[in-house]
């Protein structure tokens, strides 16, 4: 990944797009002040962890989330972390930065209500996809933390967009059978843009890392990225694969079927094993996101309606009842 020019890839993929094409009534979220300040100061490679810790400590919610994450069984520390500085030092600069970023983006969206999306279920799905992308990145030998962060953020603007433009999104969900294409294709026909492009534009305004922006921007390319000579073994490909998992909006009708078929082409990719690892890791995280619907349960239901029934039954039989 160190040899990839992420800035050039982002600029080419986004083209001449500008956020000014959005309806003036659409109000895009802003990052919490502490998160914006943290990201700004963290661009200085000489910055001390103590100064970054003092920025986080100005936001009680962010402080609690960071300490909860550092002390989760997912991280697996033997001793309890009691201060923000300890948490940042143990997690390291990059993982800390990505955690603060994704937590801030979630906070910005959670403050907005949605008439079309159930917020708790939405963030549950986002976390499942992030954990799934992390496992896929491990198989690819790619950046696991970057895959996790990008997958959390791949759909982060959907609650805002579907709420503020409810009347134009409603036909997609109310009569899904009549909309055989994916959500991104529906958006391109309806608006001339899709949520990935808008999110990437906002992430660019926030001056987020270019590889993370590319992950957000290209997440609907799905399995096609595995054939890309540059991106096939990057976190961007892992994020795109995670986007094929089922979600509340049913963005991709055939997404899970594609993952079932991928297992027949990629011997290291064991779908049922990854799904169970996601559920185990989800429980270990303990980030306050209730897992009322484990990924194994969601996938078992979806696999029952697969267009590749024999292969899907094989995967479903390996999942816990």
Question: Helix/strand/coil (H, E, C) string of 200-258?
Answer: HHHHHHCCCCHHHHHHHHCHHHHHHHHHCCCCCCCHHHHHHHHCCCCCCCCCCCCHHHH
Inter-axis angle of helices 271-285 and 309-316, to 10 degrees? Answer: 40
Sign of the torsion angle spanned by Cα atoms 212, 218, 223, 229: negative
**Quick one: average pLDDT of 82-94?**
92
Distance CA 240, CA 254 (A): 14
pLDDT in tens, 269-307: 999 999 999 999 888 876 555 667 899 999 999 999 888
How far apart are alpha carbons 261 and 263 in whole angstroms? 5
Indicate the DSSP class of residue 76: T
Specify the CATH class of 112-320 in words: mainly alpha
pLDDT tens digits, 219-251: 999 999 999 999 999 999 999 999 999 998 889
Is the pLDDT reported for residue 252 higher than 70?
A: yes
Q: Per-residue pLDDT tens for 40-73? A: 898 887 899 999 999 999 999 899 989 988 888 7
Q: What is the pLDDT of residue 223?
A: 96
3-state secondary structure of 36: helix
pLDDT, average across residues 99-105: 87
Per-domain residue ranges for the chain? 22-109, 112-320
Q: Is 209 exposed, middle or buried (0-12, 13-18, 19+ CB in 10 A)?
A: buried
């Amino acid at each position: 990944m160190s040899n990839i020019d992420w800035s050039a890839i982002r600029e080419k993929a986004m083209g001449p797009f500008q956020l000014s094409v959005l309806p003036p009534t659409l109000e895009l979220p802003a990052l919490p002040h502490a998160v914006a300040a943290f990201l700004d100061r963290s661009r200085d490679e000489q910055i001390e962890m103590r100064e970054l810790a003092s920025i986080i400590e100005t936001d009680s919610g962010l402080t609690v989330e960071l300490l909860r994450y550092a002390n989760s069984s997912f991280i697996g520390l033997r001793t309890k972390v009691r201060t923000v500085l300890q948490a940042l030092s143990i997690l390291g600069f990059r993982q800390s930065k990505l955690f603060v970023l994704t937590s801030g983006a979630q906070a910005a969206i959670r403050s907005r209500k949605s008439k079309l999306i159930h917020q708790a279920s939405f963030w549950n799905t986002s976390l499942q996809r992030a954990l799934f992308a992390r496992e896929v990145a491990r198989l690819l030998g790619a950046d696991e933390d970057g895959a996790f962060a990008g997958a959390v953020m791949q759909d982060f603007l959907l609650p805002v967009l579907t709420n503020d433009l409810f009347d134009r999104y409603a036909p997609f969900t109310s009569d899904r059978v009549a909309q055989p294409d994916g959500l991104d294709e529906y958006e391109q026909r309806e608006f001339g843009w899709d949520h990935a492009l808008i999110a990437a534009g906002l992430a660019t305004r926030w001056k987020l890392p270019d590889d993370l922006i590319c992950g957000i921007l290209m997440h609907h390319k799905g399995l096609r990225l595995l054939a890309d000579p540059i991106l096939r073994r990057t976190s961007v490909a892992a994020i795109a694969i995670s986007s094929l998992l089922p979600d509340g909006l049913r963005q991709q009708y055939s997404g899970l079927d594609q993952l079932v078929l991928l297992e027949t082409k990629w011997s290291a990719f064991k779908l049922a094993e990854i799904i169970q690892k996601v559920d185990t890791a989800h429980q270990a995280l303990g980030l306050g996101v209730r897992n009322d619907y484990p990924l194994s349960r969601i996938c078992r239901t979806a696999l029952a309606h697969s267009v590749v029934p024999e292969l899907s039954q094989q995967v479903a039989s390996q999942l816990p009842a």
